[in-house]
Structure 1
Amino acid sequence: MAAAIRSRALTASAAVAAAFDRIEALDGTLMAFCTLARDEAFARAAAIDAGIARGGAVGPLAGVPIAVKDLIATRGLRTTFGSPLYADFVPDESDVVVDRLEAAGAIVLGKTNVSEFGYGPVGHNPLFPTTRNPWNPALTSGGSSAGTAAAVASGMVPFGLGSDGGGSIRIPAALCGVVGVKASWGRVPLYPGCRDERYPGASGWESLEHIGPLSRTVADAALALDVMAGPTALDRHSIPAESAAFRIAPPETLRGLTIAFSGDLGFAAVDPEVRRIATDAALRLAAALGCRIEAVDPPIPDPQSAFEAIVALDTDREGLRRMAGERDYRFGGALGRLLAHPWSADDFTAAILARKTIANAMSRFMARFDLLLTPTTAVAAFAIDCEGPERIDGRPVLPSAWTPFSSLANLTGQPAATVPAGFTAAGLPVGLQIMGRHLGDATVLTACAAVEQLLPWRDRVPPLAVCARSADA
């Protein structure tokens, strides 16, 4: 699309108009967007078209319409974080990555729906209707980047931004059948999100959070990451850019790599159909590329309790309670449980030590393996009105048990991505998670692209989106 706009085979205004037409056709059902920026988007498109007509230079994303998760700040455009406490909040500055994407020519169409402050792996919040899965609107699209995943999967935008503190890019990407990438810790800077102490709720997750793309192709995700990455003085955790960090190499460069595959990390309940699809994808990838693959579990305990305590430690709990008290508001769901829990300093110390133990164990494990492959989630999409299935593979489980694979990469900072691996008998997407060594982003992206080539999915779109395309035609 960007190439067509640069060559004047397509105008940015036409691309934006087509995207809004798709939003109008589908979003009454899917509820992916919570705020639209129609006038601003058309004005930016017109300016880009005029610049191209004058022969001016344009960026690598010239005229491409995108969606931005509602946890990510956008200057002059309402950003609610999915909470009534910020229902009318309009930031005075954009997140660093939004500025970089717009400088590259991308056009923000609007903000996409989230779980409240990103707490919880489904897209519920008390401010907007819950986002629905494009493959079956009776089912969840996951979370917390729920709206972005649904918008990309249904063709409203070519790619969009999500954030990932414990899987919130990868989980909805897997359930909606698209690519989702969480780069290595520090590759993509964050500010003001997670860093600005003025905004309780939005200032949480500092030691876990990442921003990244959801897209229909691995190449699109790599392009977006290339634009967003690089250090900034606003984020003390950001690291210097590497020219090849997001370069997709030919698949034969993976030949001879050693791959670990774990269907359950040694502790998780996993739906047998999901396990079978992910296992088959991993085996086919290894066979096609001549890689050695070993079925092995990393030597780590279930990280969930440590992860939850780190989230609580990173959260401005006092600030949220103060805001809620001033407005007579009560939190529910995962955030409500976190605020009600009687955390102690010893809880946080134990969680920090557990995180160190897990990170060190994974470092030693990844010295033996170039990649770790798992299912992305333990189940495919489920009913929209719950936090998670009550049973998985016949085992009674907690609501959080269906996302056992994702928080590990947030605790360690390793790069991790999800790519579609296949579909269940009910026609629901299943994701394969690919995790690499620290700073091994290029290897992860190359492996994702190899899966994309081996198990092509781009021409398979949700039935709802097919109907919209027919209407457009």
Structure 2
Amino acid sequence: MPLGVKDLLATAGVRTTGGSAVYADFVPDEDDVAVQRVKAAGAVVLGKTNASEFGYSAVGHNPLFPATRNPWNTALTPGGSSAGSAAAVAAGLGPVALGTDGGCSIRVPAAHCGLVGYKPSMGRVPAYPGCRDERYPGMSGWESLEHIGPLTRTVADTALMMSVLAGPDPRDRHSIPCADVDWRAAASRGTAEGAPGLRVAYSPDLGYLAVDPRVREVVEAAVGVMERELRWDVTAVDPGWPDPAEAFAALIVAESDLSGIRAMADAHADVMSPHLVAWMRRPWTAEQLTDANITRKAVVNRMARLMSGYDLLVTPTAAVPPFPVGIQGPERTDGREVADTAWIGFNYPANLTGQPAVSLPAGFTDDGLPIGVQLVGRHLDDGTVLRAAAAFERVAPWAHHRPQVISGDRATDRGSNREHSFAARRCTPT
């Protein structure tokens, strides 16, 4: 199987830059565990895929390589930081790619590119040496937040990849056994039987996020399919935790090699991402970093209480459709002024808690941009997430939707009859 590998994952004998000019010539002497496993299973690594510098951004540009563009419209971002992995699969360069997700970086590009993006439970896929090797500032952060997973076109391909990737490794202290999940059987059951009786908590905004009306419309149509076609019991909820955006940013800093990155910035700031340099040079206080841990505990506890009554939490994946290349995010959404990172706010709660989460194609905007819906499962309940994803795919299939072969600066759907929301209108496989 041909495979793309995100450039944050180490590949023995193959340049691994992390999207940073500082590591432009770095060649690891060992594969990341995930890379080792897929190669042993017969994958053919086509190449490394572009990422934002060290993953510290949710879009696909860095100072080293040209910006990654969205195959559905090359003026727009594919999302990030697994930008190249998503764009490669969406453009048909291969059926699957490996990504990493410390706060959104598999799910958001999956949503923006019309793909399945799976963030398994924390520890299902070991991370080493990526984000574990203390020798490499920038590469060695995000230890309790980072997840490794696949970007694919179908849920079955996701299950196949997870059957190879999952399992403990002593080099990752967070890794866990996975005998409780039969990955391919879970997806097969969802396809054959559906997932009857699921209790679903639906939150269109988590109680605090500004959401583009186009995203709301497509995701609500998808939730309607879950109710009508799958007979899931859907309840609108406000999860009730505080907006953890500042805490999330502080936790990333606390888990980074702050001294190492600051020294790197002192020597190489002119070839590093300005937002990364500014982030690391902020005068962080001990109270900010410890307060972030307290906020994390609040999110974990309230999520646990919420999920005690539900099998899934369903939300939009990204708060906005794909936007132009070259910015970190929109500063105004649905008439509200927002931080340029607010659009990824649906994603990082599941990184704070370590719960499994998947982004699935939900439909398109009127101008043909993909929109994703996110399914978050209970603690360690990857099996239900995959079964539910496969059931939704059965009644709202998406794999036949592909961007046109890119020519020049334009990319459009190959079909001329793309509906505004295929989830709402295509309820039988084609």
- The alignment's TM-score, normalised by the length of structure 2, stands at 0.92
State whether structure 2 residue 329 is matched by structure 1 residue 392: no
Counterpart pick for 1:273 among 214, 217, 222: 214
Counterpart Cα distance in 2 of 1:378 and 1:438: 24
What is the letter of the counterpart of residue 339 of structure 1?
M
Which amino acid is 1:291 matched to?
Answer: W
1:72 corresponds in structure 2 to 9
Taking the aligned partners of 1:96 and 1:130, their CA distance within structure 2 comes to: 28
How far the C-alpha of 1:389 sits from its partner, in A, is 1.3
Give the aligned partner of residue 355 of structure 2.
Answer: 414
1:126 aligned partner = 63
Tell me which residue corresponds to 1:169. Answer: 106
Query: Helix, strand or coil: the match of 2:371?
Result: strand
Give the structure 1 partner of residue 342 of structure 2. Answer: 401
Q: CA offset at residue 329 of structure 1?
A: 4.3
Question: Could you list the per-position Cα deviations for residues 453-473 of structure 1 after superposition, in whole angstroms to 9, with x for gaps in the alignment?
Answer: 111111110023599999xxx
User: Relative contact order (C-alpha < 8 Å, sep 6+): which is higher?
Assistant: 2
Q: Which amino acid aligns with 1:362?
A: M
Q: Deviation of residue 299 (structure 1)?
A: 1.4
What is the distance in 1 between the residues matched to 2:144 and 2:22?
Answer: 24
1:253 CA displacement: 5.5
Secondary structure of the structure 2 residue equivalent to 1:308: helix
| Structure 1 residue ranges without an equivalent (≥5) | 1-63
- The alpha carbon displacement at 1:328 in A equals 6.1
The alpha-carbon distance between structure 1 residues 92 and 468, as it changes in their structure 2 partners (threshold 3 A), is farther
Match of 1:53 in 2: none
| CA distances 1:285-317 after superposition (whole Å, capped 9, x unpaired) | 122222211011211111111100100101101
**TM-aligned CA deviation for residue 245 of structure 1:** 4.5
Task: Tell me the secondary structure at the aligned position of residue 250 of structure 1.
Answer: helix
User: Which secondary structure state, in structure 2, belongs to the residue aligned with residue 283 of structure 1?
Assistant: helix
What RMSD in Å do the two structures reach over aligned CA positions?
A: 1.7
User: Which stretch has the larger CA shift, 443-452 or 146-155?
Assistant: 443-452
Query: Who is 2:245 aligned against?
Result: 304
Matching of residues 192-207 of structure 1 within 5 Å: 192-207=129-144
Whole-angstrom CA distance in 2 between matches of 1:219 and 1:179: 10
Number of the residue aligned with 1:50: none
Question: Residue 79 of structure 1 aligns to which amino acid in structure 2?
Answer: T
More divergent stretch after superposition (249-258 vs 155-164): 249-258
CA shift for structure 1 position 362: 0.2
- Rounded Cα–Cα distance in structure 2 between residues aligned with 1:96 and 1:279: 38
| Equivalent residue number for residue 167 of structure 2 | 230
1:446 corresponds to 2:380: no
Q: What SS does the corresponding residue of 2:342 show, helix, strand or coil?
A: helix
Cα distance in 2 for partners of 1:388, 1:159 equals 26
CA distance in 2: counterparts of 1:334 and 1:184, whole angstroms: 29
Contact 1:152–1:214, Cα closer than 8 Å, also in 2: yes
User: Aligned partners of 2:74 and 2:242: how far apart in 1?
Assistant: 35
Is residue 2:376 matched to residue 1:435? yes
Go from structure 1 to structure 2 and tell me whether the alpha carbon gap of 1:243 and 1:361 turns closer, same or farther (over 3 Å shift).
Answer: closer
**Counterpart residue identity of residue 378, structure 2:** R
SS of the residue corresponding to residue 167 of structure 2 reads coil
Cα distance in 2 between the residues matched to 1:145 and 1:334: 18
Letter in 2 for 1:348: L
- The whole-number CA distance in structure 1 between the counterparts of 2:387 and 2:141 is 32
Deviation at 1:222, TM superposition (A): 0.9
Q: Using the alignment, how far apart are the partners of 1:469 and 1:332 within structure 2?
A: 33
CA shift, 1:432, in A, is 0.4
Of 243-252 and 116-125, the range deviating more from structure 2: 243-252
Q: Find out whether 1:461 has 2:398 as its counterpart.
A: no
Native 8 Å contact 1:274 1:380 kept in 2: yes
Q: 2-side partners of 1:375 and 1:423: how far apart?
A: 13
- Give TM-score, length-normalised by structure 1: 0.84
Q: Answer yes or no: is 1:380 the counterpart of 2:317.
A: no
Query: Aligned residue for 1:114?
Result: 51
Distance in 2, Cα, partners of 1:327 & 1:431: 37
Q: Does 1:91 align with 2:28?
A: yes
Match status 1:183 vs 2:120 = yes
Deviation of 1:250 (Å): 3.2
Helix, strand or coil for the counterpart of 1:140?
Answer: coil
Counterpart of 1:217 in structure 2 is 154
Is the contact made by 2:262 and 2:277 (CA closer than 8 Å) also made in structure 1? no
Could you tell me which runs of 5 or more consecutive residues in structure 2 were left unpaired when the two chains were aligned: 415-430
Amino acid of the structure 2 residue aligned with 1:135: W
Q: In structure 2, do the counterparts of structure 1 residues 261 and 468 end up closer, same or farther at CA, with 3 Å as the change threshold?
A: closer
- Report the residue type matching 1:400 in the other structure: T
Larger radius of gyration: 1
2:294 to 324, 349, 353: 353
> In structure 1, what is the Cα distance between the partners aligned to 2:254 and 2:182?
31
Instruction: Give the structure with the larger helix fraction.
Output: 1
Q: How far is the alpha carbon of 1:345 from its aligned partner?
A: 1.0
Shift of 1:150: 0.3
Looking at structure 1, the residues matched to 204 and 324 of structure 2 have their Cα atoms a distance apart, in angstroms, of 23
